[in-house]
């Protein structure tokens, strides 16, 4: 398999810097889509844009025109305020680069290799939308990547499932000076809810997480707030645990409402991102390709973050590479991580990832026994 040329690597790094300079939120990744699209078209590939009803999703394909495919998944959305603090510019180029590697071997492919652009990983879950619309119905396996603030290379990492909830308390507004007794304070309910969550936290599994913020705490000092709202994330490594947590979370909210004479409503804020299940046989193929680059990736290990790749991983064989972007560990979703994600080291490691993922995709697309092994 042909590695990426120096010119391709430089062009991919420039694409990464371009996406990084133009951070865009979930479902609005128009600049990124434009830049990736122009890049792929320069390299002779046609894009199908807007797949699955998502404006900023796309697909392109090499090998057999029809039939099943091995998929490489690119992400390119950013975070509010911090920009590319999760380094999805690198997920984009490592999978675009992998696709170029596979395209160089197009004539040999028994099944196609696709590059699928999946918007809105940070908020909304674009892969969940695409799954629902059948975009992955003919996908045999999914490969992807994620930059890491740790020093280790990892394949077959698992991840926590997450679900987001919007909790709204409704009370009664009243003059805070002349008639506080007539009010029912919705902010008090939110405060009691947080206290209740804190009391519950020590009972949770070690890896489970509950975290939130007050998104509405009233509007004026002299009015008893009639409406207050908090947004929470709940995470666990097993779906059953998470389901149980969601139930308990609801009971604590009801308790806070009861204490304060308010009403509570819980709505979905973020759809259910399933825990990531890695496919060890697929991971063996990817790890084997990384070893050709002299790396010894760690296998497995729980990433205490969440991704909509989890939903893909419960439907079809999925595995991913986590690659370092910094010599010294940096926290995820931080300004340090953002800056590290356009470093020379980050780009070098993204190219290694691209070559390993591309080579793994070609191996799968040219070896039926291997495809049967990962499917079993």
Interface residues with Zn ion (CB under 5 A) are 86
User: Which tokens go with 44?
Assistant: 């002779």
**Distance between terminal CA atoms of the chain?**
26
Whichever of 86 and 350 has its CB closer to Zn ion, that residue is 86
The 8 Å CB, 24+ separation contacts for 133-137 are: 133/51, 133/52, 133/53, 134/52, 135/51, 135/52, 135/57, 135/59, 136/71, 136/312, 136/315, 136/316
Nearer to Zn ion, 335 or 375 (CB): 335
Unique residue bearing structure tokens 């560990």? 329
How far apart, in whole angstroms, are the C-alpha atoms of residue 149 and residue 33? 25
Least Cβ distance, residue 194 to Zn ion (angstroms): 27
Q: How far is the CB of 47 from Zn ion (least distance, A)?
A: 23
Cβ proximity to Zn ion: between 60 and 307 the closer is 307
Q: Compute the least distance from the CB of residue 215 to Zn ion, in Å.
A: 22
User: By C-beta, is 86 or 351 nearer to Zn ion?
Assistant: 86
Q: Which is nearer to Zn ion, 86 or 187 (CB)?
A: 86
Please identify, using beta-carbon distances, which residue of 333 and 348 lies nearer to Zn ion. Answer: 333
Taking the complex as a whole, how short is the minimal distance between the CB of residue 310 and Zn ion, in angstroms? 12
Task: Choose between 86 and 287: whose C-beta lies nearer to Zn ion.
Answer: 86
Both tokens of 352, joined, read 């290694």
Minimum CB distance to Zn ion, residue 354 (Å): 17
Length of the chain equals: 376
DSSP-derived letter for residue 73 is E
One DSSP character per residue, 204-272 reads S-TT-EEEEEEEE--S-TTEE-SEEEEEEEEEESSHHHHHHHHHHHHHHHHHHHHHHT-EEEEEEEEEE
CB of residue 79 to Zn ion, shortest distance in Å: 9
Among all chains, which residue has been given the structure tokens 């930059």?
Answer: 147
Comparing CB distances to Zn ion, the nearer of 85 and 97 is 85
Q: What are the angstrom distances between the C-alpha of 367 and each of 180, 293, 344?
A: 74, 22, 35
Shortest Cβ 226–Zn ion spacing (Å):
37
The closest residue (CB) to Zn ion is 86
Contact by Cβ (8 Å): 83, 35: no
Distance in Å, CB of 322 to Zn ion, minimum? 10
- Cα-Cα-Cα-Cα torsion 18, 341, 70, 273, nearest 10 degrees, comes to -110
């Amino acid at each position: 398999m042909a590695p990426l040329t120096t010119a391709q690597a430089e062009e991919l790094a420039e694409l990464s810097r371009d996406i990084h300079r133009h951070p865009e939120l979930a479902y609005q990744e128009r600049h990124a889509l434009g830049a990736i699209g122009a890049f792929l078209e320069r390299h002779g590939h046609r894009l199908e844009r807007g797949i699955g009803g998502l404006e900023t999703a796309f697909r392109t394909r090499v090998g057999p025109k029809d039939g099943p495919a091995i998929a490489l998944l690119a992400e390119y959305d950013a975070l509010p305020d911090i920009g590319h603090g999760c380094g999805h510019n690198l997920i984009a180029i490592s999978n675009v680069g992998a696709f170029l590697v596979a395209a160089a071997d197009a004539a040999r492919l028994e099944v196609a290799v696709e590059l699928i652009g999946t918007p809105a990983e940070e908020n909304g879950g674009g892969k969940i939308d695409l799954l629902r619309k059948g975009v992955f119905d003919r996908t045999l396996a999914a490969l992807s990547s994620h930059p890491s603030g740790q020093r280790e290379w990892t394949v077959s990492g698992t991840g926590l499932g997450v679900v987001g909830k919007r909790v709204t308390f409704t009370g009664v507004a009243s003059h805070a000076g002349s008639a506080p007794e007539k009010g029912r304070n919705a902010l008090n309910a939110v405060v009691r809810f947080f206290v209740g969550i804190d009391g519950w936290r020590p009972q949770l599994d070690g890896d489970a997480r509950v975290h939130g913020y007050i998104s509405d705490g009233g509007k004026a000092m002299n009015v008893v707030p009639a409406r207050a709202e908090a947004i929470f994330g709940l995470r666990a490594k097993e779906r059953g645990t998470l389901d149980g947590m969601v139930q308990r979370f609801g009971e604590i909210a009801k308790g806070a409402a009861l204490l304060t004479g308010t009403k509570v409503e819980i709505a979905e804020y973020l759809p259910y991102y399933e825990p990531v299940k890695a496919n060890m046989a697929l991971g063996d193929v990817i790890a084997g390709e990384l070893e050709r680059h002299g790396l010894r990736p760690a296998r497995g290990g729980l990433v205490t973050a969440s991704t909509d790749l989890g939903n893909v991983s419960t439907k079809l064989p999925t595995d991913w590479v986590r690659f370092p972007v910094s010599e010294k560990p940096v926290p995820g979703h931080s300004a340090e991580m953002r800056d590290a994600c356009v470093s020379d080291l980050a780009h070098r490691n993204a190219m290694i990832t691209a070559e390993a993922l591309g080579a793994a995709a070609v191996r799968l697309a040219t070896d039926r026994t291997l495809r049967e092994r990962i499917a079993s």
